[in-house]
Amino acid sequence: MQTPRWFLGSVCAGALVLPLALDALSLTLRDVVDDDSRWVGEGLRQKGLIADHTTAPQILLAGGSNVNYGYSAAQIEREFGVPATNLAVHAGLGRRYIFWDCLRHAKRGDLVVLGLEYALYGHLFRDPAERYQVFIYDRAYYEQLPWIEKVILLGSMSPGDWSKLLRAKAGWRKPKASLSLLVLSQRGDQTDNTEPDVRLQEGPPFEGVVGPEFTGDLRDFAKAVRERGAVVALVFPNLRDAEFRRRIKPGFLADIHQAADAAGVRVVGTPESSAFPTQYAYNTNYHLNAEGTRIATRRLMRELAEAGARLPAHPSR
């Protein structure tokens, strides 16, 4: 039996109209107050202001919460006399958003230290953190995407997402008065990790593979950074040593090096040196407590120096 032409036409029309309708509907999500994502948007905003107000060349620490909890820009400035800003917030934003956000702040003379969680080397994934950030707090990222990427991002919004956010927009979901936002230092560092958290969680899962699009994404990012007169150094994420021994395989690490070489990016340090004992864990296998952060920051600066990375000079020195 032949399918009626009117039916095929209706399906094709619907396929065209639905993305356009969702695109228009997404405009209503601007400035929604959402308890689950507000800390991400506010953290990125505050960190971006710190970076932009620093006119001297600086180190920009970029990545997910591994960098947010793993390195201290304030310590870098205090102990090593190098201006620095911690831009990192959450791996759920995805590597493409993290790259784009970093590029907004990179300028001539900066050194971008990129410490991606291992999950961000793999296939692209769509986390709620990314779509909530894009549609509520940072429409500029969405607007610069190719149309097919916009459709994919719109498609990642579930009916539950739409319902939750539109109800919040209409005032049917009241924001929590006790909402806890990031506790940041004057250089953008996370500062609420002073004590170990006994409820140790695994953290973001990962496949242990370098995805087919990663090399291109890193190459494009590194090229754009260089065009701004800055450079990129790739460092391995901090990971609890028990998980490192269990999860990280030689072939995976070889692929990371190959991708970095293809992108013209310097690799600094080793994955083994970034593995840490449980005594320095905060609340996940990727998050360091305050003492672990101090140790990791000193190790990072030593490894940058050993690798011959050009560090920004303090303007007063």
Domains and CATH numbers, the chain: 31-175+182-306 (3.40.50.1110)
* Lowest pLDDT segment from 85-89, 181-185, 252-256: 181-185
Q: Residue 172's pLDDT is what?
A: 77
pLDDT at 316 over 80: no
Average pLDDT rounded to a whole number, residues 85-111 = 97
Confidence band of 180 (pLDDT split at 50, 70, 90): low
pLDDT (tens digit, 9 = 90+) per residue, 99-124? 999 999 999 999 999 999 999 999 88
Plot region of 101 (φ>0 → left; ψ -120 to 50 → alpha; else → beta):
alpha
pLDDT > 90: percent of the chain? 63
- Residue 168's pLDDT band, with cuts at 50, 70 and 90, is confident
Measured distance CA(303)–CA(301) in Å, rounded: 5
Which pLDDT value is given to residue 194?
80
- Per-residue pLDDT tens over the stretch 45-77: 999 999 999 999 999 999 999 999 999 999 999
* Identity of the residue numbered 309: A
Q: How large is the average pLDDT for residues 173-196?
A: 75
In angstroms, what CA-CA distances link 287 with 48, 201, 205? Answer: 22, 10, 14
Tell me which residue of 107, 51, 103 sits closest to 77, measured CA to CA.
51
As a whole-number percent, the residues of the chain with pLDDT over 70 amount to: 88
The predicted model gives 70-87 an average pLDDT of: 97
Instruction: For residue 225, give the amino acid letter.
Output: V
What's the average model confidence in pLDDT over 178-182?
A: 56
Residue-wise burial string across 202-234, b where 16 or more C-beta atoms lie within 10 A, e elsewhere: ebbebebebbeebbebbbebbebbeeeebbbbb
Confidence of residue 218 (pLDDT cuts 50, 70, 90): very high
| pLDDT surpasses 50 at 261 | yes
The pair of three-digit structure tokens given for residue 225, joined into one six-digit string? 């950074």
Given a cut of 50, whether residue 11 has pLDDT beyond it is no
* Res. 196: pLDDT tops 90: no
Q: How confident is the model at residue 7 (pLDDT cuts 50, 70, 90)?
A: very low
